[in-house]
Amino acid sequence: MPVVTSGWYMTLAAILFVLGMTGVLIRRNALVMFMCVELMLNAVNLTFVAAGRAAGVLDGQVAVFFVLVVAAAEVVVGLAIIVAIFRRRETASVDELAALRG
Amino acid sequence: MIELPTEALWLVIALPLGGSLLLHFVGRWLGEPRAGYLTCAASLAAFGVAAVAAVPFLTGEGHPSQSLLWEWMPAVGASFEIVWDPLSALMTLVVTGVGSLIHIYSLGYMHGDPRFHRFFAYLNLFTASMLTLVLAGNYAMLFVGWELVGLCSYLLISFWFTRPSAAAAGKKAFVVNRIGDFGFLIALMLIFSSFGTLSYSGVFDRAGDELTGSAATLIGLMLAAGAIGKSAQIPLYVWLPDAMEGPTPVSALIHAATMVTAGVYVIARSAPIFELAPAASGVVAAVGALTALWAATIALGQSDIKRVLAYSTISQLGYMFLAVGATAYVAGVFHLMTHAFFKALLFLGAGSVIHAMGGRQDMEEMGGLRKAMPVTFLTMGIGVVAIAGFPPLAGFWSKDEILGVVFNQGGFFTVLWLVGLVTALLTAFYMIRQFVMVFLGRPRWPEGVIPHESPRSMTVPLAVLAVLSVLGGLVNTPFRLGLEHFLEPSFKGVKLGHPAEGVVSILVLAAVAVGAGAVGAAMAFFAYHRPPEAWRRFQAAFGKVWGWWEDGYRVDDIYGTILVSPGRRLAEQAAFRLDLDVVDGAVNGVARLVRAAGTMIRPAQSGLIRQYGLWFGLGLVALLAWLLVRGGV
């Protein structure tokens, strides 16, 4: 059984990050895009924890708590905006929310 | 005897200034005539303070003193400080004394004017400004007063601004004065660069040791340029005849008795500089003599009662310039004083006549006013005799002293003396001509005009000025040089020009001058004490020349052609070509550039959030790729 090194975690994190990014880029539904952003954030969290463990320090885990808290707050605000927009426009498709184009 | 500390002299400026400020705020509420009473009281109070403060100089115990009001720019020797010496005392007494009489006169003259209180506010402001000018202890404060009197002159010339001619005259006076002020400002800068200070004491104490001849000449010429503008000498005299658009008391106070003499005062005050610059003094004397003759000839041909007096003022100011240019500063200041008396008298008398004629100023429509207005007739007659230079009235003594000094200088000045002599003849001619046309002969009044004597408030100042015009000259006669002793402390260390000693030469010169005046007076009397057809024949005998005099040698037209219209064209080009095309063009060009750049890159802002994300991601990839290639991290 192969030893699980930091490299494995990093690879997994990279895959998760790219998955999330792809989702953000190709999906139109704002809710789904939000979920993809969460995926990207958690990919980064994974790198923090893995790197912290490899270095034998707790700093990485502390950083993850910060990211989780901030992400939670951000989701609250973001979802509130989406709900507000949905009430006015009957849609959650970001492509239709292009009023600020140049 | 009351001892007044010189520190209290700020009151002299503050009283009229306070009166003016008060009237600006509550004048309308005070209304006529209380607003006028207030300013008269302020002016008289200033005169009282000045008179008390001048007592030590009269008794010969006074010393010139300087009192600091407050620091302004101490580094350049410019503070608000009052210099109190015989020269400034004399000027202050003339300004407040004649000024007070004219204030009182205006109570009657401006009666019923809708802007009565505003007129008096300006009059008091002028008094305060003129006193700032004469009491200044340095050139910077002098310049403040210098500009303020210019402003007041503008405000009062165009007092009846609804008349386009009055508005234009005010503008003209202001602009022409600016030309002279430009030279004055250069003189100030030269003084500062030579001495590092602008204070009189700093400049005059060191002028003899530190000033080179060429620098003194340059400073003198530039000061003279300012004086020429303010005192209406050739070539900048054109504003003064037009200034007659203002109310007549203004013409008397500002454009005859006080403000226009500021140039003479500045040259007298700067005597230590002019002493080092004989060339500049010579220019001043030549300009003065030329102006005296030039303006006197124009005065011959005028038929507007006030324009005669305006050109006469220019001519008399020319005498004063001739005197101070011949380093006879006392004689110049002496003539300044006597002229203030008799010219104020003549202008106020003319105002009385205009008042009686219902605003008419054409002498052709007057005549025979002797019976209708006896007080004006008598007092103005005294003024005419005084200005014509007949003994023992004021004008004789001062004019004679000037001519005596100039003759005594010899050389080039002999020519100027001759010019002055001819001018004396012309002066008598045009003044007697005016007097005869206005008061003697048959009435030529237009229908509906019933002349009447003016109210008491106007005739009393006339009477006071008439007394001064009779007695004013006795302060400085060849037998008793009172004024010269009085002014001595102000011209300490300055070599003054004097008339020749000896009773014979004095008598001969005086006889020549009086003879010239008598010839002029007799000619005028016999030419004009006849029906109008006879004058026309007399005037026609001069041919074209009379037309030149009537038109003032068409100087206004010439200036209009060679200076005003090119200036106007330049301004038009600047406004409609340079400003619209070049300046606005540059601004609009920048705006167009920004707009074009914006249009070019606007498509990047699609509003599609996923597109932004794509750019974001691509940027991230590019950054990572760069880091990898560089091999850092």
Which string of DSSP letters, residue by residue, matches B541-576?
TTTHHHHHHHTGGGHHHHHIIIIIHHHHHHHHIIII
Selected residue of B605, B610, B615, B633 to mutate for chain A interface (largest A Cβ count, 10 A): B610
> What residues contact residue B494 under an 8 Å CB cut-off, 6+ apart?
B271, B272, B275, B327, B329
Delineate the domains of chain A, giving CATH numbers in brackets. 6-91 (1.10.287.3510)
Q: Are residues B490 and B464 part of one domain?
A: yes
Give the span between the Cα atoms of B372 and B453, in whole angstroms: 6
Alpha-carbon separation of residue B173 from B2, B166, B258 (angstroms): 43, 11, 16
CA distance A26 to chain B (A): 7
For residue B340, give the 3-state DSSP assignment. Answer: helix
Does position B498 have pLDDT exceeding 70, yes or no?
Answer: yes
Residues of A in contact with B607 (CB under 8 A): 97-102
- Give DSSP secondary structure letters for A11-46: HHHHHHHHHHHHHHHH--BHHHHHHHHHHHHHHHHH
Cβ-based neighbours of B445, under 8 Å, separated by 6 or more: B357, B365, B366, B367, B368, B451
B445 in helix, strand or coil? coil
Exposed/middle/buried for residue B268 (C-beta within 10 Å: 0-12, 13-18, 19+):
buried
**pLDDT, position B192:** 92
State the smallest CA–CA distance between residue A69 and chain B in angstroms.
24
Pair B313, B332 in one domain: yes
Average pLDDT score over residue span A51-68: 91
pLDDT of residue B465: 94
Question: pLDDT band at residue A1, thresholds of 50, 70 and 90?
Answer: low
C-beta separation of B344 from B314 below 8 A? no
In percent, the amount of chain B with pLDDT more than 90 equals 62
Asked whether residue B344 falls in the same domain as residue B381, the answer is yes
| pLDDT for residue B632 is more than 70 | no
Is residue B593 domain-resident? yes
pTM of the model: 0.81
How far is it, in rounded angstroms, from Cα B292 to Cα B389? 15
Average pLDDT over all residues of chain A: 89
Q: Using 50, 70 and 90 to split pLDDT, how confident is the model at B4?
A: low
d(CA B371, CA B441): 11
| B423 phi, psi to nearest 5 deg | -60, -40
Q: What is the reported pLDDT for A102?
A: 63
- What's the whole-number average pLDDT of chain B? 90
Residue B15 lies in a domain: no
User: CA B2 to CA B5: how far, in whole Å?
Assistant: 10
* B434 and B311 fall within a common domain: yes
Instruction: For residue B496, give its domain range.
Output: 285-547
Average the pLDDT over A30-57 and give the result: 92
Q: How far apart are CA B351 and CA B283, in angstroms?
A: 35
What are residue B81's phi and psi, to 5 degrees?
-130, 145
Token digits of residue B196: 């590092």
Do residue B543 and residue B561 come from a single domain?
Answer: no
Query: Does residue B354 belong to any structural domain of this protein?
Result: yes
| Mean pLDDT on B27-41 | 89
Reduced to 3 states, what is the DSSP secondary structure of residue B301?
coil
The pLDDT of residue B1 is 42
Are B565 and B535 within one domain?
Answer: no
Give the nearest partner residue to A25 out of B603, B607, B617, using CB atoms: B617
Q: Which residues of B touch A21 (CB under 8 A)?
A: 613, 617
CB contact under 8 A, A102 and B617: no
Cβ-defined contact of B609 to A102 (cutoff 8 Å): no
Q: Report yes or no on B89 lying in a domain.
A: no
> Is residue B37 a contact partner of residue B49, using CB atoms and an 8 Å limit?
no
Regarding whether B498 and B560 lie in a shared domain, the answer is: no
- Domain final residue pick, B547, B576, B595: B547
pLDDT average, residue stretch B167-177: 93
Nearest Cβ partner of A25 from B602, B605, B614? B614
Are B402 and B523 in the same domain? yes
The residue from B496, B521, B547 where one domain ends is: B547
**What region does B477 belong to: left with phi over 0, alpha with psi -120 to 50, or beta?**
beta
**What single letter denotes the amino acid at residue B11?**
L
A contacts of B617 (beta carbons < 8 Å): 21, 25
Q: How far apart are CA B332 and CA B262, in angstroms?
A: 12
Q: Is the pLDDT of residue B253 over 80?
A: yes
Interface residues of B toward A, Cβ cutoff 8 Å, are 602-610, 613-614, 617
B contacts of A23 (beta carbons < 8 Å) = none
Contact A94 B609 (CB under 8 A): yes
Tell me which of B234-248, B423-437, B440-454, B561-575 is least confident: B440-454
Chain A residues touching chain B at CB-CB below 8 Å: 21, 24-28, 94-95, 97-102
Residue B159 covered by a domain: no
Record: contact B606-A94, CB cut-off 8 A: no
Instruction: Note whether residue B403 is domain-resident.
Output: yes
Task: Please check the confidence at residue B409 and state whether its pLDDT lies above 50.
Answer: yes
For residue B505, count CB atoms less than 10 angstroms from its CB and return exposed for 0-12, middle for 13-18, buried for 19 or more.
middle
Closest partner residue to B605 (CB to CB) among A24, A97, A101 is A101
For residues B99 and B128, the answer to whether their CB atoms sit within 8 Å is: no
Please indicate, yes or no, whether residues B316 and B434 belong to a single structural domain of this protein.
Answer: yes
Which residue in the block uniquely carries the two structure tokens 């003594």? B397
B88 within some domain: no
Q: Are residues B610 and B493 in the same domain?
A: no
Does residue B571 sit in the same domain as residue B432? no
More confident residue, B311 or B480: B311
For residue B618, the surrounding DSSP H or E stretch is helix B609-630
CB contact under 8 A, A101 and B607: yes
Which residue among A25, A100, A101 sits closest to B610, beta carbon to beta carbon?
A25
In angstroms, rounded to a whole number, what is the distance separating the alpha carbons of residues A26 and A7? 28
In a domain, B20, yes or no: no
Last residue of a domain, which of B509, B526, B547? B547
Task: Give the pLDDT confidence score for residue B610 in this predicted structure.
Answer: 82
Give the DSSP H/E element, type plus range, for residue B455. none
DSSP 8-state code for residue B160: T
Same domain? B602 vs B560: yes
- d(Cα B474, Cα A77) in Å, to the nearest integer? 100
Q: Out of B604, B608, B617, name the one closest to residue A98 (CB).
A: B608
Cis ω for the linkage preceding B5 (within 30 of 0): no
Structure confidence at residue B479 (pLDDT): 77
For residues B139 and B184, give the distance between their C-alpha atoms in angstroms, rounded to a whole number: 10
pLDDT recorded at residue B173: 94
pLDDT at B535 over 90: no
Phi first, then psi: what are they for B4, rounded to 5°?
Answer: -110, 120
Of A3-7, B146-150, B300-304, B621-625, give the lowest mean pLDDT range.
A3-7
Q: How many structural domains does chain B have?
A: 2
Those residues whose C-beta lies under 8 Å from the C-beta of residue B156, and which sit 6 or more positions away, are B119, B122, B123, B126, B246, B247, B250, B254
Q: Tell whether the torsion through CA atoms of B347, B349, B355 and B356 is positive or negative.
A: negative
**Residue bearing tokens 């002498």:** B363
Selection from B152, B355, B356 nearest residue B258 by Cα: B152
Return the exposure string of B106-135: e unless at least 16 CB atoms fall within 10 Å of the residue's CB, then b: bbbbbeeeeebbbbbbbbbbbbbbbbbbbb
